[in-house]
Chains A and B, each alone.
Chain A
Amino acid sequence: MPETTIILDTTAIQRALTRIAHEIAERNEISEEVVLVGIPTGGDHLAARLSKILSGIWNHAVPVGILDVNMHRDDLDQRAAPTIHPTVIPFDVTGKTVVLVDDVLFSGRTTRAAMDALNDFGRPKKIQLAVLIDRGHRELPVRADFVGKNVPTAITEKVRVRLDIPGQPDEVVLEK
């Protein structure tokens, strides 16, 4: 068994999301233009939760989409083919402020792939990035606009985000 440390527990995750939602609301004055797009697996759950909190702040529904980025990755011929999850974007992204939601920001390559993938669906007015954990070790010039928690990590460590698993509490753990 690897040595694990809890970085965020259920309450801390909820508190971080509430803060991120308020920061999104503060940054974006025209709330009707904001849509959330989660990257599976993890970001889709977080996007749904952020949408719920934001609709409470803004008093209107905030659309949520799911964007699988695996077809746009840059390492496809270097590892076994990834599992592709369904992409569901039930709205036009053109002219919208799209908040990409991911669980962990690491190399930045997923974010790069997500921006490319999103372009196939239209031309957003702005793209912003919200992540629950920023663990450092960027390989591309990518920066998150909204961060739940900055966690300094060694490159060999793993960050596991567990959300909505039946019978288990939501938590983020660091595996050494």
Chain B
Amino acid sequence: MSWNKKHLLDIESLTVDEIVTVLDTARAFKAVGERAIKKVPALRGKTVVNLFIEPSTRTRISFELAAQRLTADIVNFSADASSFKKGETLKDTARNLEALNADFIIIRHSASGAPHFLSRVVKASIINAGDGAHEHPTQALLDAFTIREHKEKIAGLNITILGDILYSRVARSNIWALTKLGAKVTLCGPSTLVPKTFEQMGCRVTHNVDDAIRDADIIHLLRIQHERQRKTMFPGIGEYTSLFGLNKARLAKTKPDALIMHPGPINRGVEIDSEIADCDRSLILEQVTNGLAVRMAVLFLLNGGKGPQGVAGN
């Protein structure tokens, strides 16, 4: 158990020990959410800013609730109602937030590396809530947490990520986390969205969905990121669904204990059949619950100062 980081910018730079520390800590915070009083005073007096320059509902709400359950004060800052429209730069916005004594800035931005940039120009702790197609570290941590809860371990599992890998920060963060934790990761989707170059990250790449899911313990579906794509990546949604969508017939050919995940928002009838999204092998809503616990754990760990670890008693 160890944590000495000030920021959570990506999974790539985390050690296995650090990832496991977040997952273990999150277990305790999940239990807090199951109590009658779901709030602890760990971040009392701290100020958290949600700086969401790109639209998001569930991640923003999840961080907001996580901060509130830790007794921090949180303010939301969104792109459409903000000074960005008036031409202020990201650096100036962040320094204004710092002038208000923000302790944490949670940033979502369409540009890869925006959180890393912020961590160099302000004193607050920065949490990356998704930067372009680069990383979405808390999503990968909550996915790993969910997998570990159901399968007890991650090492040795066959995990298939199916969909738009090229434009997905969720995929990148998941690949880093899962390969570090010893899973065998397979990527699948149209060849334009799942290029062979991903093999360099230690994954198997296939464009045949049946081959990809046959031995999978976890099937992780991703949404087609229309907002990041040019129209030419594949012929059409209908063709994508018939070639890569998860339906009953395809699911019947998987291992009976294979579980289905999706970071949301789901597009029913596109990447996943409606009844599969709601079936008892789907972990989609548990991911949301676990996301809250993982984000509480991340805030709690980043709040820790320098020096030796606090121990009760002595």
Contacts and interface: CB of A to CB of B under 8 A. Distances in A.
Interface of A: 39-42, 68-73, 75-87, 102-104, 106, 110, 116-117, 120-121, 158-160
A120 B41 CA distance: 11
Say whether chain A's binding surface is mostly helix, strand, loop, or mixed: loop
Leading 4 A-B pairs by shortest Cβ distance? A81-B304, A71-B40, A84-B28, A79-B310
A110 B313 contact: yes
Say whether chain B's binding surface is mostly helix, strand, loop, or mixed: loop
B309 A79 contact: yes
A82 B42 contact: no
Contacts of A83: 1, 24-25, 309
Contact of B40 (A82, A86, A120, A160): A120
Interface of B: 1-4, 24-25, 27-29, 31-32, 35-37, 39-43, 46, 300-314
A79 B46 CA distance: 16
B4 A116 contact: no
B49 to A, nearest CB: 17
A42 B309 contact: no
A124 B43 CA distance: 26
B314 A72 contact: no
User: Could you say which of B2, B27, B306, B311 has the most chain A C-beta atoms within 10 Å of its C-beta?
Assistant: B311
Contact of A106 (B37, B301, B313): B313
Contacts of A117: 40
B304 A39 contact: no
A121 B42 contact: no
Contact of A69 (B4, B35, B305, B312): B312
B25 A76 contact: no
B314 A81 contact: no
A86 B32 CA distance: 10
Given A71-B40, A84-B28, A40 B312 contact: yes
A87 B304 contact: no
User: Could you say which of B304, B308, B311, B313 has the most chain A C-beta atoms within 10 Å of its C-beta?
Assistant: B313
A81 B300 contact: yes
Contacts of B37: 120-121
B283 to A, nearest CB: 22
Nearest to A82: B310
Contacts of B28: 68, 71, 84-87
A59 to B, nearest CB: 32
A121 B4 CA distance: 31
Given A40-B312, A71-B40, A158-B314, A80 B307 contact: yes
Given A71-B32, A80-B4, A81-B304, A86 B313 contact: no
A86 B30 CA distance: 10
